[in-house]
């Protein structure tokens, strides 16, 4: 892998590539900068596997009946080209970085690394397993030695489970979008979603293999602990200094939020990735929050500022 930090140009914009020299470099970067996975290719070949016994289990517990099958991907077919980009230097014309289903554009954000999967191969590219996802569904792949990195789609409510042998674990990405629709409050709805995903994983584990003792997960309660409830938002506002009495440092100027700053928005997401060293896999989840605001400049108009904060934790092997 080349040691340079800049690659070729497209459309006149530098690609601001970030090199990785060994797998643990991704862990070190993820402890300081938010990592957002961005996919540029369709899903690889897969097969549908029925989750035996799940329908009865979910009926007994009055759970959502979606996702009675698992999409199982070919191991080698999930290996794609990956590259890290500094999002603050990445233009929308070069590679649009958006959150699925929201249309929010992250190009130009501060403290964000865009992990582009399936893009053109450049000097700083590396092989990476990528696991797809879908609403109200279960997706899985068994990893091997074809690559030393793994990532799945950006998370905002899904659960990731890992089980099996550290040399060749199986990873599951589960979504329960429809679960908890009739719950009386947010807490009950979130709990229903987590319960559904746990039930589906247990059914998948019994059908596809893996022991309960070797399994661990990252759910929304891990990577989105505040869930942006009223209390969670208030805590983030306190930590980020977005109350009316606080100061923003914008370039060389400071602006009071009640006077200059408006359109504050706080968002919470997660990223799960894996690294392989000495033939064994380890998996991490990253809690990441995004604060965006617009502020009046000394001239006319408003400037946009978006910045990420991140925490990184290993969850498997437990």
Q: Is 83 exposed, middle or buried, given 0-12, 13-18 or 19+ CB atoms closer than 10 A? A: buried
Element counts in the chain: helices (H) and strands (E): 5, 19
CA pair distance 258, 137, nearest whole angstrom:
44
| pLDDT, average across residues 293-316 | 78
CB 225 within 8 A of CB 232: yes
**Among all chains, which residue has been given the structure tokens 């980009």?**
85
> Percent of the chain having pLDDT more than 70?
73
Cα 8 to Cα 27: distance, rounded to the nearest angstrom: 26
Given a contact cutoff of 8 angstroms between Cβ atoms, the answer to whether 270 and 287 are in contact is yes
How far apart, in whole angstroms, are the C-alpha atoms of residue 3 and residue 7?
A: 11
| ω into 173 cis (within 30 of 0) | no
pLDDT grade, residue 10 (50/70/90)? very low
Q: Strands, DSSP E only, in the chain?
A: 9-10, 13-14, 17-18, 34-39, 46-50, 69-73, 79-86, 112-117, 126-131, 138-142, 149-152, 159-163, 170-174, 216-218, 247-250, 253-256, 261-277, 280-296, 302-316
Average pLDDT of the residues in 42-56: 73
Instruction: Tell me the C-alpha distance between 269 and 275, whole Å.
Output: 20
Confidence of residue 230 (pLDDT cuts 50, 70, 90): low
| Model pLDDT for residues 103-155, shown as the tens digit of each residue | 788 988 999 999 999 988 888 999 999 999 989 899 999 999 999 999 999 99
Q: Do the beta carbons of residue 233 and residue 262 sit within 8 Å?
A: no
CA distance 291 to 242: 9
Alpha-carbon distances, residue 182 vs 137, 190, 191, 193, 238 (angstroms): 19, 11, 12, 12, 32
Tokens of 311: 């925490």
Q: What is the pLDDT of residues 238-265, one digit of tens each?
A: 555 554 444 444 443 444 444 455 566 7
Strand-pairing partners, residue 34, are 112
Only one residue has tokens 């370039």, namely 251
Q: Is the CA virtual torsion 152, 155, 161, 166 positive or negative?
A: positive
User: Which is more confidently placed, 105 or 83?
Assistant: 83
Instruction: Using only the alpha carbons of the chain, give its radius of gyration.
Output: 21
User: Using an 8 Å Cβ cutoff, are 166 and 281 in contact?
Assistant: yes
Q: Where are the domains of the chain?
A: 23-223+269-292+311-316
The DSSP element (H or E) to which 235 belongs, if any, is: helix 230-240
Is the pLDDT assigned to residue 296 strictly greater than 90?
Answer: no
pTM given for the model: 0.82
């Amino acid at each position: 892998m080349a040691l340079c930090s800049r690659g070729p140009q497209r459309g006149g914009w530098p690609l601001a590539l970030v090199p990785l020299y060994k797998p643990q470099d991704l862990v070190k970067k993820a402890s300081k900068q938010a990592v957002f996975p961005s996919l540029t290719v369709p899903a690889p070949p897969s097969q549908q596997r029925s989750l035996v016994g799940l329908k009865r289990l979910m009926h007994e517990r009055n759970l959502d009946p979606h996702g009675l099958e698992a999409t199982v991907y070919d191991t080698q077919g999930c290996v794609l080209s990956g590259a890290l980009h500094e999002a603050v230097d990445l233009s929308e014309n070069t590679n649009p970085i958006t959150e699925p289903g929201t249309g929010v554009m992250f190009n130009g954000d501060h403290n964000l690394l865009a992990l582009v999967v399936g893009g053109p191969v450049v000097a700083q590219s590396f092989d990476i397993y990528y696991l797809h996802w879908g609403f109200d569904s279960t997706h899985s792949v068994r990893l091997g030695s074809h690559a030393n990195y793994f990532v799945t789609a950006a998370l905002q409510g899904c659960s990731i489970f890992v089980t099996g042998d550290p040399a060749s674990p199986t990873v599951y990405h589960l979504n329960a979008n429809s679960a908890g629709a009739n719950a009386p409050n947010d807490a009950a709805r979130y709990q229903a979603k987590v319960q559904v995903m746990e039930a589906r994983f247990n059914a998948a584990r019994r059908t596809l293999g893996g022991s309960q003792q070797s399994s661990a997960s990252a759910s929304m309660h891990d990577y989105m602990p505040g869930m942006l409830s009223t209390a969670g938002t208030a805590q983030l506002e306190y930590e980020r200094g977005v109350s009316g009495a606080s100061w923003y440092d914008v370039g060389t100027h400071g602006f009071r939020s009640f006077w200059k700053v408006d359109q504050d928005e706080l968002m919470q997401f997660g990223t799960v990735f894996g690294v392989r060293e000495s033939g064994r896999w380890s998996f991490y989840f990253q809690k990441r929050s995004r604060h965006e605001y617009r502020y009046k400049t000394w001239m006319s108009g408003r400037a946009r500022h978006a910045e990420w904060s991140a925490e990184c934790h290993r969850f498997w092997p437990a």
